[in-house]
């Protein structure tokens, strides 16, 4: 009974620290910590703990929804940009769409290969008492580097390289990418070093594809038997470019809101403790 009393006190304290945005509606007991378990003491784990333990209602609502938008955004933005540009005979934005798609593919392929070489387990597997969102659970096993972060920073870096005179596009795309990277730690699925590696992989893939843009655009023209110059005379306005990302994100969030409940799981070694939250 005394042990159960301390467990109840701990769970109530957790609610208070999260500003009462997280409401407990049913808990299972924590599994006993293995006496031989020693958590690594390094800056990677320390930063992860700081982010993952910083629970609040706003982040617990926004981050899972935005996190799920990465794949739809990464597909819809290049396709939408290409379609609008082709319709308006806007060759610069059309070429940007091609470079953007190739950058995403390159970054994803690099990340996938590196994950399967390094095979680093995810923090909710390696560490105990990690807040972990079941609905944002990764489909693959390995952690390093972060694929979500790679994708987001690949888009942000390429848009920056192609539109250096559009601060709204640059700020908006990097803000989005930053939320994605932070969210991967908040959701308990990546260490800070995974996120940093994803940032470098995404930016690096964008820089690589951008450096090859003349050859790529020439190859595209040859493929479609065209001779369209990479001219920026008819660029889309910055709000329209940024609006593609924002629009897809909003649509995705609306669709995600139809899920019946929200759960955060706290792994405790052999079990997960369910924390239900309602807003």
Show me where the domains of the chain are located.
2-277
CA distance 136 to 264: 10
3-state secondary structure of 199: helix
pLDDT value at 69 more than 90: no
- pLDDT: which is higher, 237 or 276: 237
User: Of residues 185 and 222, which shows the higher confidence score?
Assistant: 185
The SS3 assignment for 163 reads: coil
What's the token pair of residue 256? 């995600």
What pLDDT, on a 0 to 100 scale, did the predictor assign at position 159?
93
Residue 31: CB atoms within 10 A of its CB come to 14
Dist CA 50 CA 47 (whole Å)? 5
Residues 171-177 have a mean pLDDT of: 92
Tokens representing 268 are 């405790």
pLDDT in tens, 224-264: 887 777 766 666 666 677 666 666 666 655 665 555 444 44
pLDDT value of residue 149: 95
Q: Judge whether 172 and 246 are in contact, CB under 8 Å.
A: yes
Give the CA count within 13 Å in the CB-facing half-sphere of 27. Answer: 19
Confidence of residue 127 (pLDDT cuts 50, 70, 90): confident
271 vs 61, residue with greater confidence? 61
**What is the value of pTM for the model shown?**
0.74
Tell me the CATH class for 2-277: mainly alpha
Cβ-proximal residues to 173 (8 Å cutoff; 6+ apart), any chain: 155, 156, 159, 160, 242, 245
Report pLDDT digits (tens) over 78-111.
Answer: 988 888 888 888 888 888 999 999 999 999 999 9
Q: Which residues have C-beta within 8 Å of that of residue 124, sequence separation ≥ 6?
A: 130, 132, 188, 189, 267
Kindly report the average pLDDT of the chain as a whole number. Answer: 75
Whole-number pLDDT of residue 25: 25
Tokens at 95, concatenated: 């070429």
Structure confidence by residue, pLDDT tens digits, 148-169 = 999 999 999 999 999 998 888 8
């Amino acid at each position: 009974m005394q042990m159960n009393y301390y467990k109840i006190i701990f769970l109530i304290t957790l609610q208070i620290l999260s500003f009462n945005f997280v409401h407990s509606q049913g808990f299972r007991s924590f599994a006993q910590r293995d006496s031989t378990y020693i958590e690594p003491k390094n800056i990677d784990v320390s930063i992860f703990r700081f982010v993952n333990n910083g629970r609040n209602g706003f982040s617990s609502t926004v981050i899972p929804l935005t996190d799920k938008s990465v794949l739809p955004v990464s597909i819809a933005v290049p396709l939408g940009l290409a379609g609008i540009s082709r319709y308006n005979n806007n060759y610069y934005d059309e070429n940007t769409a091609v470079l953007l798609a190739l950058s995403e593919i390159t970054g994803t392929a690099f990340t996938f290969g590196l994950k399967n070489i390094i095979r680093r387990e995810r923090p909710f597997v390696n560490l105990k008492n990690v807040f972990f969102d079941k609905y944002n659970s990764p489909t693959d096993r390995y952690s390093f580097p972060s694929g979500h972060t790679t994708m987001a920073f690949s888009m942000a870096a390429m848009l920056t390289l192609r539109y250096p005179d559009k601060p709204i596009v640059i700020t908006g795309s990097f803000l989005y990418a930053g939320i994605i990277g932070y969210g991967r730690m908040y959701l308990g699925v990546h260490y800070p070093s995974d996120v940093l590696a994803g940032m470098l992989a995404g930016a690096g893939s964008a820089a690589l594809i951008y450096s090859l843009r003349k050859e790529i655009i020439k190859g595209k023209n040859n493929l479609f038997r065209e001779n369209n110059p990479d001219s920026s005379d008819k660029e889309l306005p910055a709000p329209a470019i940024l609006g593609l990302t924002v629009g897809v994100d909003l649509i995705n969030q609306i669709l995600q809101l139809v899920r019946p409940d929200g759960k955060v799981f706290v792994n405790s070694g052999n079990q997960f403790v369910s924390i239900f939250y309602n807003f």
